[in-house]
Copies of this chain bind each other. A is one copy, B any other.
Amino acid sequence: MDAASLSGIILGISLIIGAIFINGQLDNFFNLSGFMIVFGGTIAATLITFQLKDVFTAFKAAFFVFTEKKMDPNDMVETMIELCTISRRQGLIALSRMEIEDDLLKKACNLIADGSKEDLIRDTLHIEIESMKQRHFIIQDVFRKMAVYAPSFGMMGTLIGLVQMLRELSNPETIGPSMAIALLTTFYGMLLSTLFFLPIAGKLKDRTLVEVINLEIIFEGAISILEDNNPLFVYEKLSSYIPAKRRRPRRPFFVKK
């Protein structure tokens, strides 16, 4: 689990609850029908906006982004250098015998080993990367749109409460509590948007940036293998994607025979 995100969520919720406790009671802030209109309305508008499968994928991605470890670009650079060295010593065909986990890298190796033309490999990998970017963008967009819808439904809930209150002004004692309940939905909408939807959208975007770097290392590495470049120079090129401080020095690589 991503420690920073976990502590962020715990910190955010405790601060809100703490702020409520200091001067009042927590149950003043529970209002199921208010929460239903904000959360349910947001889900409703989201279901109209996106395809069902994109909404599911978005929620799954939101879960995994906080739990799954992401790949270190240094590992990817090392893998590419290894493949580059092997292909130089044992020929391009050797790439088809490698055991590779990453989908794109596997495809790249197969295409190279099958003797495809450079243009085709370039186009194919480029389409893979662009399609992946676009799919990730839609996933992020689910949460960005939810971050827009939630405060809006929050205000609608408050307007419903206000209209009902204004219709029954006869009893002045109920004005305060009625208005308090009406304001709760605005609070819910902002809380959902600011503490959950916006940060999740941000995290997903951040994760996409990291993944794209890995994919670009694969892309540039595959082209270098095709062009039969010196692994030394390939390392210089691929490691440029990594900030100088985190860059792992090149390890001499010996092909096992």
User: A134-158: contact bitstring with B at CB < 8 Å (1 yes, 0 no)?
Assistant: 1100100000010011001101110
Contact A131 B240 (CB under 8 A): yes
Q: Which residues of B contact A232 (CB under 8 A)?
A: 114
- What residue of chain B has the Cβ atom nearest to residue A116's Cβ? B233
A67 adjacent to chain B (CB < 8 Å): no
Q: In whole Å, how far is A138's beta carbon from the nearest beta carbon of chain B?
A: 7
Complex: A16 Cα to B135 Cα, angstroms: 32
Complex: A11 Cα to B44 Cα, angstroms: 6
Contact segment of A80-88, A90-98, A164-172, A249-257: A164-172
Contact B45 A12 (CB under 8 A): yes
Q: In whole Å, how far is A45's beta carbon from the nearest beta carbon of chain B?
A: 5
Q: Which residues of B contact A4 (CB under 8 A)?
A: 47-48, 50-52, 55
A163 adjacent to chain B (CB < 8 Å): yes
Q: In whole Å, how far is A32's beta carbon from the nearest beta carbon of chain B?
A: 10
- What residue of chain B has the Cβ atom nearest to residue A107's Cβ? B236
Q: Which residues of B contact A193 (CB under 8 A)?
A: 152
Contact A41 B12 (CB under 8 A): yes
User: A24-63: contact bitstring with B at CB < 8 Å (1 yes, 0 no)?
Assistant: 1000110001101100110111111111101100000000
Q: In whole Å, how far is A219's beta carbon from the nearest beta carbon of chain B?
A: 11
Contact A187 B159 (CB under 8 A): yes
Q: In whole Å, how far is A116's beta carbon from the nearest beta carbon of chain B?
A: 5
Contact B55 A159 (CB under 8 A): no
Contact A127 B237 (CB under 8 A): yes
Contact B33 A22 (CB under 8 A): yes
Q: In whole Å, how far is A27's beta carbon from the nearest beta carbon of chain B?
A: 10
Task: State the 5 A-B residue pairs at the shortest beta-carbon distance, nearest first.
Answer: A8-B47, A12-B44, A49-B202, A48-B199, A169-B176
Query: Would you mind naming 17 contact pairs between A and B with Cβ atoms under 8 Å apart?
Result: A2-B51, A4-B51, A15-B41, A18-B36, A19-B33, A19-B36, A19-B160, A48-B200, A120-B229, A120-B233, A127-B220, A145-B202, A149-B194, A152-B190, A156-B187, A167-B177, A169-B175
